[in-house]
Amino acid sequence: MNFLYGGMLGWTALAAVPIVIHWLLRDRIRRLTFGGTRFLGVVERQATARKLWLETVLMLLRAALVALLVIAIARPYLTSALGMQPTAVLLIDCSRSMQPGGRFDRAVAAARDVLGQLPGSERVLIGAVGSTASPDLVQARDAADAAQLLGRMRPDGGVGNLVGALNAAVARCGSQPSAIHLISALAGSGFPATEHVVPVPPTCRLVIHDVGGAGDLPPATVGLTAELAARELTPGAGNLAVAVRLVNRGAARSVTVRIADAAGTLDEQTVPMTQDGTSTLTLHGSLMTVGEVPLMVTIPGAPTVLEEDGTFRLVARVVERIHLAVVDGHPASDHAQDPAYFVLAALAAVSGRSYAVDRCESIPPLDGYQGLIVAGPRALAASEVQRIAGFVASGGGLLIILDPGLDPQQLNPALGVLAPARVRGWHSGDVTLGATALGAERFSGILGGQDDALSVARFSGSADLTDAQGSQILLRFSDQRPALVMAHCGQGVSMLLATALDRSVGDFPLRPLFLPLVQELVRALHAGSDHSLTQVTGADLALGPGDRLLGPLPLAAADGASHPQPAGGNASSGVDAGGQLRAATPGFYQLTHLQTTTLLAVNGDPAAVASPSLSSRDVEQLVGGSAVGLHATGHGLERVLGADEVRQAELRLGLGHWCLVLISVLLVLELALSQSVSRR
Amino acid sequence: MPATQRDESNLLDAGVLARIRGMDLLARTVVEGFVLGLHRSPFRGFSVEFAEYRPYVPGDDIKHIDWRVYARTDRHYLKLYEEETNLSCQLVLDASASMGDTPAGPVSKLGYATRLCACLAYFMTRQRDAVGLTIFDRKVRQTLPARLRSSHLQRILSELESCTAGAATDLAAPLHQAAEVMERSGMIMLVSDFLADLDGLEIALQHLRHVGHDLIAFQILSPDEREFPFEGDVEFTDPETGLVRRVSGRSVRDTYRSALAAHQERLATILAGARVDHVLIGTDEPLQVALAAYLHRRSLRPS
């Protein structure tokens, strides 16, 4: 028998209260000289003894009632039933997050401790938590076999599927009494971030042994991720922008972040760090050579959580020209009224170096284009929308620039899911532009650290956008309405600008900031999703027949001393593939697909950086809202049943009903006895 | 009609009486208050000292008609005299150990009984009856023959004031002895709790009746003895036999009351058989109850 709320059992000491009350209020014998003593029969001596006995029984009954009430509140339930052998399941996290700092060794040691505390009659199942959805649970024949199973375990470098492992263990245990010991490093395991609910039955006890945490990290550990501002670049000075996100996992006060390619360091910046906080910065550089350029972001002198070698890898693709199509929704003879005129003019200013721009009056065939700008759209045919959707899904960028002539009744159905927001109508009134936090990061190159730099952009009218949930709002009007909304669609992006870029609503096209803003908008157009160029270790790659994955390649920056290549490869690298493969080791890989060879940057799991210094309390808070609750124990976290599971436990194996029946019987007995005693 | 119902304002309760130290003062207080409450003295009789006239009514003895008045007025009047008797009364007081216990209440049964005797003695003396006193427990401890003198009354009161509880009760033997002591027929007032063996009591009473005595039995019981209000565990000790009973008050209450009722019924039967008035008085009741009972019995006695 076990208790859902075992801590309540301490209150059974309250059973002493009836005993104390009985002792305090017991009848004290009075001694009297009484002339009528002769009328008291001798049989009354026995009645007195009987009364004393009844009072003692009543006292014990009341003490038992109190104790039973406490036990009922503690929710007892059966943990063993006839013919059921208790089972202990040991799930040892073998994912990549267990590699640093000797975590895996500690996990194995913790597993051995658990094994040492188990009774010999208990069945032991051992499983390695990896990236597979349902790990194999091997039953150990005896203690020696269990030790051998533990000794053969190695971290596989993949992403640990803890929820899958837990579900497998629960499914294997069924309704049998069991205990699941999950041994992992909560920091970076990704477990707390999961939204899945593990339906652990009430007969099962879940104990999470945290062998990681901030304690095993070096004091200056900093998490690091980076993202290219644009997936494809054209050769030119300052064409490279990399957004870097830093998570302080230790006590670093400031760090220096460096980006380098094979030729040497491109940029280096020092950024202050807050304790357990996050910092962002943008590194810039110039890539002049057309082709795929491996880039490495490093923090010299500071170990990172993400990689053992302290490097985040990127692949930038430099192309000669970026082809854009600008569709003029309603051409006008007056340039000031033409919605595409000033955009074309701005692109023409730089088209000689980077952009090849085609002006169209309808949606052209989109093959060969990286971006599509639709200025002042009125209505789009279904076939055109279908072509645009395919274009965006395959990695193209779409920018829709609204103007006062828009008709929401026609525009919204035509754009459908392409638009990141819906248009409600045109709103007249003077507004200015301002960048959101996300926009400030995106447009940091033109804002120069001043968030109000865009306030020079004044407009006499703007479109009302709605239903922008799920999209990223980069710019807002001064009245806080969305001005520029972006959403990822497939591998491309779709953006919606809620005002016109012509002279009909203001003089912004004449302002110096107009040209760089258009350039940034276009850059964002072909930033797209760079998943095709970067991967996470352990993530599955969908490869077709004949595809080849080679690596990790012996690439290093010119100052390679600061970021050495990881040793060795893995079983999946360099093998002809026709299915799912994984790159287990960080590095640059060469992916050959349909006679095309691309460079692939493989980095560690970003979730490891996104979850700074997890503690037991963090886990509680993260999963506290779900049906699974955890609380800290002496050696880890132990599961507490949720309300629904309590009901299930009571219905299936709980002894609460029997407690209530017993309490009722005792109450009836108590009433009868107290009546009998009071009559005496 | 009992005095308690006649005029409550003239009655002194036992608590007040308990604070009066002297027996003389106590008896005077009670009796004077009692007499003041009487609107008409019932003790008009036919004796030697003239009291008043009253009109003749058929049935009156014609020998009491005052013919001189008839000659003057041509009406028949009876001549009434102040009663002047030499009725001899003997107070027989039980001073056994059971009378001395004080489980509750302002006075013990013995204290109440001595006060009662004092009042009766005073009252009887005031009524010109000779009064004597016998104190007994297992045997007669003190006997004062009936006399009609104020100094004798003072001696009786003195004896009562110094009376203490003695040994166990034997009701029969003292009564036999009292019957022998009283030379002429009179009235005997037995004051006791009657919590004793009743065997032999009937014969003793018959002995007294045979001699020609009128008897009144005043039974003094405390409220505890009548009601048995005890709760919880109590260890009772019989003051006469030393018998110890440890009981739970509530559980034996019914048993006790039944046993007491049976005892009282047997006592009443014995007293009724001997034509003895039985007056049950609680120590929480006024003493005038006993005086009223005496008067009632006295009025029934033939002149």
Which chain A residue has the Cα nearest residue B222?
A35
| Nearest-angstrom CA–CA distance, B133 and B149 | 14
pLDDT grade for A73, boundaries at 50, 70 and 90: confident
- Say if A29 is an interface residue toward chain B (CB within 8 Å): yes
Task: Kindly report, residue by residue over B222-262, the tens digit of the pLDDT.
Answer: 888 888 888 877 888 888 888 887 777 777 888 888 888 99
Q: Which of B237, B250, B255 comes nearest A34 by C-beta? A: B237
Provide mean pLDDT across the span A189-210: 60
The answer to whether residues B201 and B240 belong to one domain is yes
pLDDT grade for A180, boundaries at 50, 70 and 90: confident
Query: Whole domain around residue A403: which residue ranges?
Result: 322-527
CB < 8 Å from A in window 266-285 of B: none
| For testing contact with chain A, the best of B192, B247, B250 (most A CBs within 10 A) | B247
Picking from A678, A626, A608, the residue whose alpha carbon sits closest to that of residue A196 is A626
Domain count for chain A: 5
The answer to whether residues B66 and B194 belong to one domain is no
pLDDT grade for A573, boundaries at 50, 70 and 90: very low
Residue A272 inside a domain? The answer is yes
Task: Kindly report, residue by residue over A265-295, the tens digit of the pLDDT.
Answer: 889 988 887 765 677 888 888 888 878 888 8
CB A36 to CB B228 under 8 A? yes
The answer to whether residues B66 and B103 belong to one domain is no
Ranges A120-129, A534-543, A595-604: which has the least confidence: A534-543
Task: Kindly report, residue by residue over A418-436, the tens digit of the pLDDT.
Answer: 788 888 888 888 888 888 8
pLDDT grade for A186, boundaries at 50, 70 and 90: low
Task: Kindly report, residue by residue over A438-453, the tens digit of the pLDDT.
Answer: 777 777 767 766 667 7
The answer to whether residues A194 and A271 belong to one domain is no
The pLDDT of residue A122 is 79
Which chain A residue has the Cα nearest residue B255?
A40
Cα A200 versus chain centre, distance = 22
Q: Phi then psi for B263, rounded to 5 degrees?
A: -65, -45
The pLDDT of residue B169 is 77
Does the pLDDT of residue A237 top 70, yes or no?
Answer: yes
Ranges A171-175, A573-577, B70-74: which has the least confidence: A573-577
pLDDT grade for B5, boundaries at 50, 70 and 90: very low
The pLDDT of residue A555 is 62
The pLDDT of residue A52 is 78
Task: Kindly report, residue by residue over B252-273, the tens digit of the pLDDT.
Answer: 888 888 888 999 999 999 888 8
- Burial (0-12, 13-18, 19+ Cβ within 10 Å), B228: buried
CB B247 to CB A45 under 8 A? yes
Residue B68 inside a domain? The answer is yes
Q: Which of B233, B236, B251 comes nearest A34 by C-beta? A: B236
| For testing contact with chain B, the best of A31, A33, A43, A676 (most B CBs within 10 A) | A33
The pLDDT of residue A198 is 59
CB B238 to CB A28 under 8 A? no
- Strand spans (E) along A624-664: 629-632, 637-640
Does the pLDDT of residue B292 top 70, yes or no?
Answer: yes
- Say if B248 is an interface residue toward chain A (CB within 8 Å): yes
Does the pLDDT of residue A230 top 80, yes or no?
Answer: no
The answer to whether residues A134 and A10 belong to one domain is no
- List of chain B residues whose C-beta atoms are within 8 Å of the C-beta of residue A40: 236, 245, 247, 252, 255-256, 259
Residue B45 inside a domain? The answer is no
What is the CA angle A392-A395-A397, rounded to 5? 55
Residue A430 inside a domain? The answer is yes
Query: Whole domain around residue B203: which residue ranges?
Result: 88-300
CB B246 to CB A48 under 8 A? yes
B290: closest CA of chain A, how far (Å):
22
Residue B19 inside a domain? The answer is no
CB A48 to CB B255 under 8 A? no
The answer to whether residues A368 and A509 belong to one domain is yes
- Residues with Cβ within 8 Å of A560's Cβ and at least 6 positions away in sequence, in order, are none
| Higher pLDDT pick, A223 / A594 | A223
- List of chain B residues whose C-beta atoms are within 8 Å of the C-beta of residue A22: none
Which chain A residue has the Cα nearest residue B99?
A35
The answer to whether residues B270 and B291 belong to one domain is yes
- Burial (0-12, 13-18, 19+ Cβ within 10 Å), B44: middle
- Say if A25 is an interface residue toward chain B (CB within 8 Å): no
The answer to whether residues A435 and A329 belong to one domain is yes
Residue A676: enclosing H or E segment and its boundaries? Answer: helix A656-679
Pairs across A and B, CB distance < 8 A: 111
- Residues with Cβ within 8 Å of B207's Cβ and at least 6 positions away in sequence, in order, are B175, B176, B179
Domain count for chain B: 2
pLDDT grade for B104, boundaries at 50, 70 and 90: low
The pLDDT of residue A319 is 77
CB A27 to CB B233 under 8 A? yes
Q: Which two tokens stand for residue A442?
A: 């995106």
pLDDT grade for A194, boundaries at 50, 70 and 90: very low
CB < 8 Å from A in window 192-221 of B: 193, 195
- Say if A675 is an interface residue toward chain B (CB within 8 Å): no
Among A91-105, A196-210, A305-319, top mean pLDDT goes to A91-105
Q: Which of A31, A679, A680 comes nearest B235 by C-beta? A: A31
Residue A81 inside a domain? The answer is no
* Residue A507 DSSP one-character state: S
Residue A33 inside a domain? The answer is no
- Strand spans (E) along A565-676: 575-577, 580-582, 587-593, 596-603, 629-632, 637-640
Question: Among B35, B60, B84, where does a domain finish?
Answer: B84
CB A680 to CB B250 under 8 A? yes
The pLDDT of residue B43 is 45
Question: Among A497, A512, A527, where does a domain finish?
Answer: A527
The pLDDT of residue A174 is 67
The pLDDT of residue A147 is 86
Ranges A504-513, A537-546, A591-600, B71-80: which has the least confidence: A537-546
Does the pLDDT of residue A578 top 70, yes or no?
Answer: no
Percent of residues, chain B, with pLDDT higher than 70: 75
Provide mean pLDDT across the span A51-69: 87
The pLDDT of residue A613 is 45
The answer to whether residues B212 and B154 belong to one domain is yes
The pLDDT of residue A544 is 65
ipTM tops 0.85? no
Residue B11 inside a domain? The answer is no
Q: Which two tokens stand for residue B5?
A: 């119902």
- Burial (0-12, 13-18, 19+ Cβ within 10 Å), A179: buried
Percent of residues, chain A, with pLDDT higher than 70: 69
The mean pLDDT value of chain B amounts to 76
Does the pLDDT of residue A98 top 80, yes or no?
Answer: no
Does the pLDDT of residue A623 top 60, yes or no?
Answer: no
**Contact by Cβ (8 Å): A35, A106:** no
- List of chain A residues whose C-beta atoms are within 8 Å of the C-beta of residue B236: 32-34, 36-37, 40
Does the pLDDT of residue A128 top 60, yes or no?
Answer: yes
A26: closest CA of chain B, how far (Å):
9
- Report the CATH number that the domain containing residue A304 is assigned in CATH: 2.60.40.10
The pLDDT of residue A626 is 40
The answer to whether residues A394 and A467 belong to one domain is yes
Residue B39 inside a domain? The answer is no
Pairing of strands A291-298, B140-147: unpaired
The answer to whether residues B73 and B121 belong to one domain is no
Provide mean pLDDT across the span A41-67: 78
The answer to whether residues A495 and A564 belong to one domain is no
The answer to whether residues B134 and B62 belong to one domain is no
| Nearest-angstrom CA–CA distance, A427 and B105 | 102
Which chain A residue has the Cα nearest residue B98?
A35
The pLDDT of residue A353 is 61
Question: Among B65, B84, B103, where does a domain finish?
Answer: B84
CB A47 to CB B252 under 8 A? yes
Percent of residues, chain A, with pLDDT higher than 90: 1
CB < 8 Å from A in window 92-151 of B: 98-99, 101, 103, 109
- Say if A41 is an interface residue toward chain B (CB within 8 Å): yes
- List of chain B residues whose C-beta atoms are within 8 Å of the C-beta of residue A38: 195, 238, 241, 243
- Report the CATH number that the domain containing residue A128 is assigned in CATH: 3.40.50.410
Phi-psi region of A78 (alpha: psi -120 to 50; beta: other; left: phi over 0): beta
| Nearest-angstrom CA–CA distance, A187 and A103 | 11
The pLDDT of residue A82 is 42
Residue A317 inside a domain? The answer is no
The answer to whether residues A292 and A240 belong to one domain is yes
The answer to whether residues B115 and B240 belong to one domain is yes
- Say if A647 is an interface residue toward chain B (CB within 8 Å): no
The answer to whether residues B115 and B224 belong to one domain is yes
Residue A133 inside a domain? The answer is yes
Does the pLDDT of residue A190 top 70, yes or no?
Answer: no
Q: Which of A31, A33, A51 comes nearest B251 by C-beta? A: A51
The answer to whether residues B66 and B138 belong to one domain is no
A28: closest CA of chain B, how far (Å):
7
Residue B30 inside a domain? The answer is no
The answer to whether residues A188 and A129 belong to one domain is yes
Provide mean pLDDT across the span A450-464: 81
Question: Among A509, A527, A545, where does a domain finish?
Answer: A527
CB A51 to CB B248 under 8 A? yes
- Residue A210's SS3 state is strand
The mean pLDDT value of chain A amounts to 74
- List of chain B residues whose C-beta atoms are within 8 Å of the C-beta of residue A51: 233, 248, 251
Residue A608 inside a domain? The answer is no
The answer to whether residues A227 and A205 belong to one domain is no
Question: Among A289, A312, A335, where does a domain finish?
Answer: A312
The answer to whether residues B75 and B144 belong to one domain is no
| Nearest-angstrom CA–CA distance, A474 and A436 | 5
Ranges A103-112, A158-167, B155-164: which has the least confidence: A158-167
The answer to whether residues A348 and A256 belong to one domain is no
Q: Which of A29, A34, A45 comes nearest B103 by C-beta? A: A34
pLDDT grade for A572, boundaries at 50, 70 and 90: very low
- Say if B46 is an interface residue toward chain A (CB within 8 Å): no
Provide mean pLDDT across the span B25-34: 61
Does the pLDDT of residue A611 top 70, yes or no?
Answer: no
- Report the CATH number that the domain containing residue B184 is assigned in CATH: 3.40.50.410
The answer to whether residues B61 and B131 belong to one domain is no
Task: Kindly report, residue by residue over B146-179, the tens digit of the pLDDT.
Answer: 887 778 888 888 888 888 888 777 888 888 877 7
Residue B107 inside a domain? The answer is yes
- Say if B222 is an interface residue toward chain A (CB within 8 Å): yes
- Burial (0-12, 13-18, 19+ Cβ within 10 Å), B86: exposed
- Say if A47 is an interface residue toward chain B (CB within 8 Å): yes
The answer to whether residues A105 and A12 belong to one domain is no
Which chain B residue has the Cα nearest residue A40?
B256
Which chain A residue has the Cα nearest residue B220?
A35
Q: Which residue has the tokens 């002006």?
A: A359
Residue B288 inside a domain? The answer is yes
Q: Which of B228, B233, B239 comes nearest A29 by C-beta? A: B233
Q: Phi then psi for A282, rounded to 5 degrees?
A: -120, 125
Task: Kindly report, residue by residue over A333-371, the tens digit of the pLDDT.
Answer: 777 788 888 888 888 776 556 678 888 888 888 888 888
The answer to whether residues A308 and A333 belong to one domain is no
